[in-house]
Structure formats: structure tokens, C-alpha cells
Amino acid sequence: MKKIWIIALLLTTVSPAAFSQIYGGHGKLSHTVTSFMPPQGNYFLGIESFSSFVPVTYTDKSLSNGPITSNYLLFDYAISDFAMTTFGFNVFQMNRFVDEATTGLGPVTFSVKLGNIEFMNSALRTGFLITSTFSVGKQNNILFNPYYSGALEFGLWNYWSYYFNTELIKQSESVHLNIGMITHNENQLEYSNNTTSYEIPGRSVGIKYMLGYQYPFGAWKFSGELWGEQFFKQPDPIIYSRESYAYLNGGVSYRFDLWELRASADLLLLGYTDETDYTKGALYGYPQPTTSAMNYSPFFIQVGFNLNLSDIVNGWMGYETAVYNYDRVKKEDYTTDLRRDDILTKIELEYYRDLYSCFKAARRYDESLQGTLYVDFVVKEDGTVGDHKIVVSTFDSAFGPQLEECMMSEVTRWTFPKGDKPIRFEIVPLNFR
């Protein structure tokens, strides 16, 4: 008889787990893939919903406390006793920490699991996993999560499992190891950042690893996992999650007659140091590296239960939450620390955003609009802007005059540290495209 495995519903918040899953079907601990292969003809249907409410404070209130939500559909099919395919996709994604806030269809994944290769009287088992992820929406450089490039990503994995009891595999003490190479293929992909579309010059490559252990004790099961990614070709400096990372997971489950209660927690071990270059292309209004400098959640937890209604139906329901402790530096905290001769840097890092908001509004009416603005202005002794003018503008659009007027009105609102004399800045070039 064919078995149909059904995941009922998984309610979770976006955490490193959500964007680091290499495989979402049969035979897995919290993260680590095991060598378990279902019999030919088995189906596995899954629905996962990811949602979060991240308490982050920004100067730009439109970015404060932004939700991250996606719904993930999953389908597994065992085409033989030695091979299984997995297909999944996001049917909706809303992410306030990416350039495009909403996409109707997110990343699509397709994996092939090959296994049931046995040694040592079936105690040692191995196999291979081929994974691929590609995007049908505009989604990349996602803050607070392991790196997803938005390009076509490939992975080749080798997994091993050792079972101490070969007669009862599911109830056996076991050790599992996964090692895979992931190629992100984002070379020549344009990432929208603070001012322009920045083209990534090369692809990044990382080694992902997962080491898991499971120990049964009567109706209880205890597990521990170490998982993460080590980049040997690191993503571009503008990427938020470009650091190598590692998590330690501990889990426990208890089996009743028809259902099993499960809980686990992950603690960040590696990845606390923020290596992002915020002056090169990070989005304006995002956290600066001077406080709480990290791109990964320090920990997250998961609770849930399995339902075993019959030999035909098996279900899973769970809840997962992640904690993001990431406070933005307020503008006032670093304005007074700037030297007067650092004003140009300040324009690039902060005030250019004010002008870009005018440009972005104009682009709604003319998507081909782009150009360069050369401005001349004076900073008075009290730190306010005095005389100001446009020296050259290359906006050759019907919206050009209105755009220039909007930008100059923003310039008059700028303030800088006080000084003992006025300073004139001549022909400051500002590029918009």
C-alpha cells in the first residue's frame, strides 16, 4: 500500500532555518538530513508559513518593525526505493528588508535525493543530495538571514548516517553528517542599493555542513546538531549576510500513542562580526555597523507535534520564533562626531537618501529617468545650509524641472555640525539611475 505523508501546517517566524533549508521532506532532524528513504510511491505534501515582526528602530519610520512573511508549499515523491524528488516554492513573500517589498512568487526549489547505499551490515548508510534554488521574483540581500543571492543556486551534498540498531532504524541511536558545496551564481546580477543598481562582479561559493546526533530513551528522543556555512569565496562587501556562520541546536521529543511532541532551540556560535561595507551599497535606513553589529539572529526556538492518525496519514504542526537584536544608530548619535571636512562623506551616507526619494517618486512616471546633478552649497556657522544652487543637471525629462525643485527643497533642510566659519562646497556630483 502506498503511504501518503501530509504535513498539516507549520507556523513559524523567519529565522536562519527558513533560508538555510537544503531539503524539506522525508528523513530530517531539525536541520540535518538523515539517510532514511521512504518506499517507492510515497508522497509528502507540505505547507509552511513564515512570519515575523522584527523590533528594529530606524530613522525612516516606514522601515520600522517591518514584517517578513512567506508561505512555502512542498511536494515530495519517492520515484524508487533509491531516489526521491522534492519540489517547493513560495506562493507569497512580503519582506520589508529587501529592495522589493512584495513579490507574488518567491524562490523555487528542486532537489533530488539519492540513497540507500549501505555498508557494515546496513549500519552505515550514505547517499547524495542535489539541490537547486532559483528566483521568479526580485529577492536578494535579505537582512537578518543566511545569504540568498536571488540567482540560480546549485548544491551538491553527501550525507552519511550511522545507526546503532539496524532492525529499528527510526528508534535507533544514530549519528548523521551532511557536507555540501553551494554555488550562488550571482555574478553580473544587479543588486539595487542606496543609489544605483550595483552589478556583482563574481559568484560566491560556500561549504554548508550539518552534524546531528539522536538518542532515543523509551518514549523520549534527544538530539543535538551543529550546522552552518563556511564561505571560501565570500559574497560581495555590500551583502548583509556575507559572514560565515554556525548554530548549535538541541532538541527533544516525546511520543504518545498517536502523536509526538517536539521542541528545539538554536544558539548562534559563529557570525557575530558584521563584515558588511555599509558605505559601498547597503540600503539607506538600515542598521549601521557601530552598534549591535551582526546579521544573524542570536537564537531561535521551535515547538510542535507529529500526528500519527493511521498508516496513511501523518501530520506535523509547529511554531518557531527567532530573536533579532539589531538597533539602528540614530542620526543624532553620529552627526556631532563628524568633522566639518567629512560633509561630503555624510552626504553620500545619509542625506543622499533625501534626494533619492524625490528621484524615486519621479521614476514612477518615467521609468527611464536617470541623470547626474552637480550642486553648489554653503554650510553656515550654525550648521544650516545657506546659499545653494544647481550647477549642472542632466535630467532631460519633462519631470526634470519639478525633480530639481524637489531636490533643492531637501537640500535646504540639511543640517551639519556647527563651525566657526562658513564652508562652501562647489560642484558636488550626485548620480541617479
Q: Say if residue 101's pLDDT is above 80.
A: no
Residues 137 and 198 in one domain: yes
Residue 28: DSSP 8-state: B
Query: Which one of 279, 304, 323 terminates a domain?
Result: 323
Do the beta carbons of residue 95 and residue 101 sit within 8 Å?
yes
Strands 314-323 and 9-12 come out as parallel
CATH number at residue 396: 3.30.2420
* Domain count of the fold of the chain: 2
The pLDDT score that the predictor gives to residue 324 is 39
Q: Which residue has the cell 555640525?
A: 417
Give DSSP secondary structure letters for 40-102.
TT-EEEEEEEEEEE-----SSGGGTT-EEEEEEEEEEEESSSSEEEEEEEEEEEEETTSSSSE
Residues 221 and 297 in one domain: yes
Q: Which residues pair with 190 in a beta bridge?
A: 199
End-to-end CA distance of the chain: 61
The pLDDT score that the predictor gives to residue 57 is 38
Q: Nine-digit cell at 197? A: 543598481
What is the rounded distance in angstroms from the CA atom of residue 191 to the CA atom of residue 188? 9
Residues 233 and 172 in one domain: yes
Q: List C-alpha distances in Å: 305 to 71, 91, 198, 262, 316.
A: 20, 25, 45, 5, 6
Residues 309 and 338 in one domain: no
On the CB side of 130, CA atoms within 13 Å amount to 5
Chain segment 293-341, per-residue pLDDT in tens: 456 767 767 666 665 544 434 444 444 444 433 333 333 333 333 444 5
What is the rounded distance in angstroms from the CA atom of residue 20 to the CA atom of residue 417? 44
Give residue 217's domain range. 4-323
Q: Nine-digit cell at 91? A: 506562493
Residue % of the chain over a pLDDT of 70:
60
* pTM (2 d.p.): 0.63
Mean pLDDT of the chain: 70
The pLDDT score that the predictor gives to residue 325 is 37
Q: Which residues pair with 371 in a beta bridge?
A: 432
Chain segment 8-46, per-residue pLDDT in tens: 333 333 333 344 444 555 677 888 989 988 788 877 666
Number of H helices, E strands in the chain: 5, 21
Res. 139 pLDDT band, cuts 50 70 90 = low
CATH number at residue 283: 2.40.160.40
Q: Is 17 helix (H, G, I), strand (E, B) or coil?
A: helix
Residues 340 and 317 in one domain: no
The pLDDT score that the predictor gives to residue 23 is 52
Residues 260 and 368 in one domain: no
The pLDDT score that the predictor gives to residue 200 is 72
Q: Say if residue 120's pLDDT is above 80.
A: yes
Res. 368 pLDDT band, cuts 50 70 90 = confident
Tell me the mean pLDDT in the region 280-286: 44
The pLDDT score that the predictor gives to residue 394 is 79
What is the rounded distance in angstroms from the CA atom of residue 89 to the CA atom of residue 83? 21
Residues 170 and 275 in one domain: yes
Chain segment 183-224, per-residue pLDDT in tens: 888 766 666 444 445 667 778 899 999 999 999 998 899 999
